[in-house]
Structure 1
Amino acid sequence: MIGLEFKEASVIEEAYAKINLFLEVLGKRHDGYHGIRSVMQTVSLHDTVNVRLSESGISMTCSDPALDCGASNLCIKAAKAFSSACGGVGAEITLTKVIPMQAGLGGGSADAAAVLRAMNFLCGCPFTVRELCRIGAKVGADVPFCVSGGTALAEGIGEILTPLPALPHCRVVICAGMPPVSTPEAYGRLDRLPPPSGDPYPPFAAALESGTLADIGKRLYNRFEDTFPQSAVRGFMIQSGAYGALISGSGSAVFGLFPETPAAEKARAVLERSGYTAFLCRPVSGSEVCRNQKKQ
């Protein structure tokens, strides 16, 4: 732990969910992973991570007894990666779960990213956000984005990030409660489909650049829609005033982009009464995610 300056005994860090405004799967690579081109957006739905530094050892507890808190958990992997990078600092992690699991919302990656930001803050920020992203890439493909947050193009397997114009003011309704989707199963289904025709990214990028929510909503795209359509929920959101609706990641959660709070809240309430789990949230900027971190 050479050169570290310990700032606080413990810190609480929000672990923000992500949605995919655009997701194209480019094919299977030689290393077995799938290449992607995705536009990810941080939203205010979040888990909460409480981290306390210790002289040695890494431990974890969680509010959800169904979650494995052992060595395979991404929070544990993140803490070990940070410890390895800065000389052996330990951590006690307490995770409070809210983000639905296996829903395409990046909950595990968000939790790991929050652990990295928390440990970095507690140690006096020895790493910049960019350096934290490099540490996060060793933990999981979506962790670098979840570390930095905001709106970004993710390429490679998700670890190559390019900042993009922010999503304009809106309210985001997220609907979960559908049967969970295994990511390997979803990719397996996709591999059996013929490749799509045309390139949907340039129209989406132009819409995002315009800053017009209605245009962005029309250009939302997710290749996994062909394998796991949620047409009933998406159709309901559009009928309720959303400018666009889509599954997130490989599913099964669906999100809708609403211009104003009243229609969004009404849609969320109807979905809840219909037996789903629904959340009303907003886009979150990278500066909000990384407010306690050293700049690039």
Structure 2
Amino acid sequence: MKLRAMAKINLGLDVVKKREDGYHEVRMIMQTIHMYDQIELHKSDIVGIHIKTNLPYLPTGENNLVYRAAKLLMDEYHITKGLDINLVKFIPVAAGLGGGSSDAAAVLVGVNRMFGLGLSQKQLEDKGAKIGADVPYCILRGTALAEGIGEVLTPLCLMPPCYILVAKPGINVSTRYVYKNLDLEKVKNHPDIDGMITAISKGSLTGVTSRMSNVLENVTAGEYPIIHEIETKMIELGALSAMMSGSGPSVFGIFEDEKKAQRAYRKLKHTSLVRQIFLTKPFGRRGK
């Protein structure tokens, strides 16, 4: 069975409060994009979960979310067959693009189908929340409001058509580090999430881009000024707006004009600011 694990960006990311259990309450507008990892699942007569990947530094045991996703369902439903998983990574690792969460989501969907478990999408989302806060959204896909710790989802209208330039500098960022060092009392500006939802419903791209904001930039961009440098360069090259995705360090710019987006891609590709760069589009729940 072949599956695509789609990347995501955060059009808006607000942190509402820190909970007593250490987690943070968030309000985020999530958007799937046409960038994906490839996953193949095969039943095996050899008992256990066996993972192969194209990146030698990735763990292939219980520290990999893919392994944990498969084990969760196989243990609960007493699946005794073995499972071979071939994971081919294209989404940058530790980049704020949800690659690991999306890989886990795809495996949950795949194991459900392969072994005929009959779980609904909502049931898969609930199980995904046990693996990671972004996993339920990566099962849902499309444009959505995410609340709670990210697992309370409200599907939204499709994002207006546009071109999305994604650039990752040559640094990796720990999500745990970013949240640990976020001081909400010092956050002066919070994103207008409700205004963005209205803009999406009206199909107003500029209404979306004018409200793009991510409170986690207070930590990540403060530590790594290159993030603001990439954002500034994208806007100079014609982006309506540019922002860090998730906890970073990836930056994305929204373009209305395809030629400007392609020119920005070529220009940034040959600078020292970025290590990986992609030009893509929004992805809808029905593949639009």
TM-score normalised to the size of structure 2?
0.91
Mapped partners of 1:111, 1:177: distance in 2? 22
Counterpart of 1:212 in structure 2 is: 204
Structure 2 unaligned regions, length at least 5: 222-226
Amino acid aligned to 1:75: V
Checking the alignment, whether the CA contact within 8 Å between 1:22 and 1:38 is kept in structure 2 is yes
Checking the alignment, whether the CA contact within 8 Å between 2:12 and 2:191 is kept in structure 1 is no
How much has 1:131 moved relative to structure 2?
1.4
Q: Give yes or no for the alignment of 1:59 onto 2:47.
A: no
Residues 216-231 of structure 1 mapped to structure 2, 5 A cutoff: 216-229=208-221, 230-231=227-228
Pick the aligned partner of 1:107 from 85, 99, 110: 99
Checking the alignment, whether the CA contact within 8 Å between 2:25 and 2:148 is kept in structure 1 is yes
Mapped partners of 1:159, 1:220: distance in 2? 21
Q: Give yes or no for the alignment of 1:69 onto 2:66.
A: no
Checking the alignment, whether the CA contact within 8 Å between 1:25 and 1:36 is kept in structure 2 is yes
Counterpart of 1:278 in structure 2 is: 277
What do the CA deviations read for 1:157-210 (whole angstroms, capped 9, x no partner)? 111100011111111110012311111211122137524356622322222222
Secondary structure, aligned partner of 2:287: helix
Amino acid aligned to 1:257: I
Residues 203 and 159 (structure 1), Cα distance of their counterparts in 2 relative to 1, 3 Å cut:
same
Residues 198 and 219 (structure 1), Cα distance of their counterparts in 2 relative to 1, 3 Å cut:
closer
Pick the aligned partner of 2:72 from 81, 89, 94: 81
How much has 1:259 moved relative to structure 2?
1.3
Counterpart of 1:189 in structure 2 is: 181
Pick the aligned partner of 1:24 from 14, 18, 36: 14
Residues 260 and 211 (structure 1), Cα distance of their counterparts in 2 relative to 1, 3 Å cut:
same
Pick the aligned partner of 1:119 from 111, 114, 117: 111
What do the CA deviations read for 1:220-243 (whole angstroms, capped 9, x no partner)? 110012222322111111122211
Checking the alignment, whether the CA contact within 8 Å between 2:191 and 2:214 is kept in structure 1 is no
How much has 1:94 moved relative to structure 2?
0.6
Secondary structure, aligned partner of 2:96: coil
TM-score normalised to the size of structure 1?
0.89
Secondary structure, aligned partner of 2:22: coil
Counterpart of 1:244 in structure 2 is: 241
Amino acid aligned to 1:50: E
Residues 141-160 of structure 1 mapped to structure 2, 5 A cutoff: 141-160=133-152
Amino acid aligned to 2:256: P
Residues 193 and 90 (structure 1), Cα distance of their counterparts in 2 relative to 1, 3 Å cut:
farther
Q: Percent identity?
A: 39
How much has 1:260 moved relative to structure 2?
2.9
Checking the alignment, whether the CA contact within 8 Å between 1:172 and 1:281 is kept in structure 2 is yes
Structure 1 unaligned regions, length at least 5: 1-10, 290-296
Counterpart of 2:24 in structure 1 is: 34
Mapped partners of 2:190, 2:219: distance in 1? 18
Secondary structure, aligned partner of 1:228: helix
Mapped partners of 1:191, 1:19: distance in 2? 23
Counterpart of 2:90 in structure 1 is: 98
Mapped partners of 2:263, 2:21: distance in 1? 46
Q: What is the aligned length?
A: 279
Mapped partners of 1:203, 1:112: distance in 2? 31
Mapped partners of 2:234, 2:40: distance in 1? 35
Mapped partners of 1:59, 1:201: distance in 2? 41
- Indicate the larger mover: 18-27 or 231-240: 231-240
CA RMSD of the aligned region, Å? 1.8
Amino acid aligned to 1:151: T
